[in-house]
Amino acid sequence: MSEAGFHGVFPYLVSPVTPTGEIDAEVLARLCDDLIGAGVHGLTPLGSTGEFAYLSRAQRRRVVEVVLQATRGRVPVVAGVASTTIDDAVAQARDYERLGCSGILAVLEAYFPIDDDGVYAYFKAIADAVSLPVVLYTNPNFQRSDLSLPVIDRLSRIDNIQYIKDASFNTGRLLSIVNRVEGRMQVFAASAHVPVCVMMIGGVGWMAGPACVAPRQSVELYELCRRGDWAAAMQRQRPLWRLNQAFAKYNLAACIKGGLALQGYAVGVPLPPQAPGRSAARADRHRRALTQTPARPSRPGHRSRSVDRPAGLVVRRRRACIARRPHSLMRIRIAPTSRTSIAHTDRVDRARCSIFAEPANQATPANRLSEYAPRQRTDLPCAPGRGRIPGRPPACRGPVRPAAARCAPPPAKCPAHAPAATRPPR
State the catalytic residues: 137, 165
Helices (H), 168-229: 171-181, 195-200, 215-227
Q: How far is CA 414 from CA 33, 351, 372, 404, 418, in A?
A: 82, 18, 22, 21, 8
Q: Which residues contact 177 (CB under 8 A, 6 or more apart)?
A: 149, 152, 164, 166, 185, 187
Among the listed residues 224, 246, 247, the one whose alpha carbon sits nearest the alpha carbon of residue 237: 224
Q: Are 136 and 106 in contact (CB under 8 A)?
A: yes
Q: Which residues contact 137 (CB under 8 A, 6 or more apart)?
A: 47, 80, 105, 106, 107, 164, 165, 167
Q: Are 281 and 35 in contact (CB under 8 A)?
A: no
SS3 category, 2: strand
Is the backbone peptide bond immediately before 16 cis, with ω within 30 degrees of 0?
A: no
Residue type, position 174, single letter: L
Q: What whole-number distance in Å separates Cα of residue 415 and Cα of residue 393?
A: 9
DSSP 8-state code for residue 43:
B
Among the listed residues 206, 221, 213, 222, the one whose alpha carbon sits nearest the alpha carbon of residue 246: 213
Task: Name the helix (H) or strand (E) containing 342.
Answer: strand 338-344
Q: How many CB atoms lie within 10 A of CB 231?
A: 7
Q: Are 212 and 16 in contact (CB under 8 A)?
A: no
Sign of CA dihedral 141, 142, 148, 152: negative
> DSSP string covering 296-316, please?
PPPPTT--S---B-TTS-BEE
Q: What whole-number distance in Å separates Cα of residue 12 and Cα of residue 217?
A: 15
